[in-house]
Structure 1
Amino acid sequence: MAELTPDIETVPESKSSPSLSGPLGNGDGMATPDVQSAAMKMERAKEAYNGYAGNEEKPASVEVWSWYLYEFCSYFIQSVLMPIVFPLIMSQIASRPPEPENGASFNSRGLLCRNKEIILYQRLTQRSIPANNSKLSPIEWTSICWAIGLLIVAPILGPISFHLDHGRKQPLLAATAIGIGVIFCLPVGFFKTPWTFLPYITAIVAAHTIASTCHTRHLGLMVRGFTGPFLRERQFPIRRAISGWLSVYATTAGCMGSATIAAFAFYMLREAPNQEFISLWVVSIFSGLQWLVGILHVFTGANRTCETIISASPSKLHAFSIFKYPHAIVSLAGVFLSSFTTMCVFTGGVLFLVGNLCLKPPFLLYIWLIYFIFPMFSLPLLQHLIKADAVKMQLLGFLLLTTTTGTGFYFKEKNWEYRFVLFFAAVHSTSTGLLHAFGRVLFLDCSPSGKEGAFSIWYSWVKALGTFMGFAVVSIAPGKIATSFGITFWTAMVGIVLLNFGNISDFGGALAAKNVGDDSERRSPVRGMDTGVLLQNREFAEGETP
Structure 2
Amino acid sequence: MKEVTVEADGGPGGAQGAQEGVKGTVRPDLHNRAMKILRAREPYNGYEEVGEKPSGFEVMGWYLYEFCFYFVQTVLVPLVFPLIISQLQRLPTDSLQEWAKNHPATHCTQKEIHLYSKLTNHSIRTSGGSNFSALEWTSIAWATGLALAAPILGFISFHLDGHFPKLITAAATGIGVFFCLPAGFFKVTAIFIPYIAGIVAASTVATAAHTHHLGLMIRCFTGPILKRSQFSLRQGVSSRLSLHATAAGCLGAAIISSFTYHMLRELNDNDRDVMSLWVVSIFSGLIWLVGVLHIVTAIGRTTDSISFSSRLHPFSIFKYPHAIGGLAGVFLSSFTTMSIFTGGVIFIVGQLCIKPLHLLYFWLTYFLFPLVSLSLLQPLLHVIKMNSVKMQIVGFLLSLLSSGFGFYYGHSHWKWGHLVLFGAIQSTATGILYAFGRLLVLDCAPSGKEGAFSIWYAWMRAAGLCVGFTVGSVAPGRIRTSFGAAFCTAIAGIVVLLFGNISDVGGAVAAGHVRDECERSSAVPGLDSKESSRV
**Which range, TM-score by smaller chain?**
0.7 to 0.9
Alignment-mate amino acid for residue 380 of structure 2: L
- Residues 531-546 of structure 1 mapped to structure 2, 5 A cutoff: none
Q: Is the 8 A contact 1:107 1:113 kept in 2?
A: no
Q: Distance in 2 between matches of 1:343 and 1:237?
A: 31
Q: Indicate conservation of the 8 Å contact 1:54/1:228, yes or no.
A: no
Q: Which residue of structure 2 aligns with residue 37 of structure 1?
A: none
TM (norm. structure 1) is 0.85
Q: Which amino acid aligns with 2:414?
A: W
User: Which residue is equivalent to 2:465?
Assistant: 467
> What secondary structure, in the 3-state scheme, does the structure 1 residue paired with 2:352 have?
coil
- 1:26 corresponding residue in structure 2: none
Once residues 531 and 262 of structure 1 are traced to their aligned partners in structure 2, the CA distance between those partners, rounded to angstroms, is 55
In the TM superposition, what whole-angstrom CA distance separates every residue of 1:236-282 from its partner, at most 9, and x where no partner exists? 00000110110000000000000010001111222454684101000
Select 2:149's aligned residue among 143, 153, 176.
153
Q: Which residue of structure 2 aligns with residue 21 of structure 1?
A: none
Aligned counterpart, 1:432: 430
8 A Cα contact 1:341 1:491, kept in partner: yes
Equivalent position of 2:286 in the other structure: 289
Stretch moving more, 52-61 or 247-256: 52-61
Distance 1:213 1:71 in 2: 12
CA deviation after TM superposition for structure 1 residue 97, in Å: 3.8
Moved more, 477-486 or 141-150: 477-486
Aligned-pair distance for 1:375?
Answer: 0.4
Match of 2:515?
517
Distance 2:348 2:521 in 1: 57
Kindly indicate whether the alpha-carbon contact (under 8 Å) linking 1:92 and 1:123 is maintained by their aligned counterparts in 2: yes
* Inter-partner Cα distance in structure 1 for 2:163 and 2:425: 43
Is 1:184 the counterpart of 2:179? The answer is yes
Structure-to-structure mapping, 1:328-477, within 5 angstroms: 328-387=323-382, 388-477=386-475
Cα distance change, pair 474–213 in 1 and its aligned pair in 2 (3 A): same
| Structure 1 residues 11 and 221: alpha-carbon distance in aligned structure 2, compared to 1, 3 A threshold | farther
Deviates more, 1:248-257 or 1:196-205: 196-205
How far is the alpha carbon of 1:111 from its aligned partner?
2.1
Give the one of 259, 262, 268 matched to 2:254: 259
Among residues 179, 202, 205, which one is paired with 2:197 in the alignment? 202
By how many angstroms is 1:311 displaced? 3.9
User: 1:36-55 residue pairs with structure 2 within 5 A?
Assistant: 52-53=47-48
TM-superposed deviation, 1:475: 2.6
Q: Which runs of 5+ in 1 are unaligned?
A: 1-5, 16-45, 534-546
RMSD, aligned CA: 2.6
Unaligned runs of 5+ in 2: 12-40, 529-535
3-state secondary structure, aligned to 2:73: helix
- The two structures have a TM-score, normalised by structure 2, of 0.87
Check conservation: 2:46, 2:448, Cα contact below 8 A: no
Q: Kindly indicate whether residue 169 of structure 2 is the aligned counterpart of residue 170 of structure 1.
A: no
Which residue identity is paired with 1:413?
Answer: H
State how far apart, in whole Å, the 2-side matches of 1:422 and 1:158 are. Answer: 42
Deviations along 1:170-224, one digit per CA (max 9) or x if unpaired, are 2111111110000110001110011111111111111111111000000000001
Amino acid at match of 2:133: S
CA distance in structure 2 between the partners assigned to 1:109 and 1:437 by the alignment: 43
Is 1:280 aligned to residue 277 of structure 2?
yes
User: How many residue pairs end up in the alignment?
Assistant: 490
The verdict on how the C-alpha distance between 1:270 and 1:494 changes in structure 2, with shifts beyond 3 A counting, is same
AA in 2 matched with 1:137: S
Q: Contact 2:317 / 2:453 at 8 angstroms: preserved in 1?
A: yes
**How many percent identity over aligned positions?**
56
SS of 2:125's partner is strand
For residues 11 and 322 of structure 1, the distance between their equivalents in structure 2, rounded to whole angstroms, comes to 43
Secondary structure of 1:432 counterpart: helix
Task: String of CA shifts for 1:474-532, please: whole Å, max 9, x gaps.
Answer: 2321221010011110110111111111111111111111110012334779xxx7779
Tell me the residue number matched to 1:308: 303
Question: Higher mean Cα deviation, 154-163 or 213-222?
Answer: 154-163
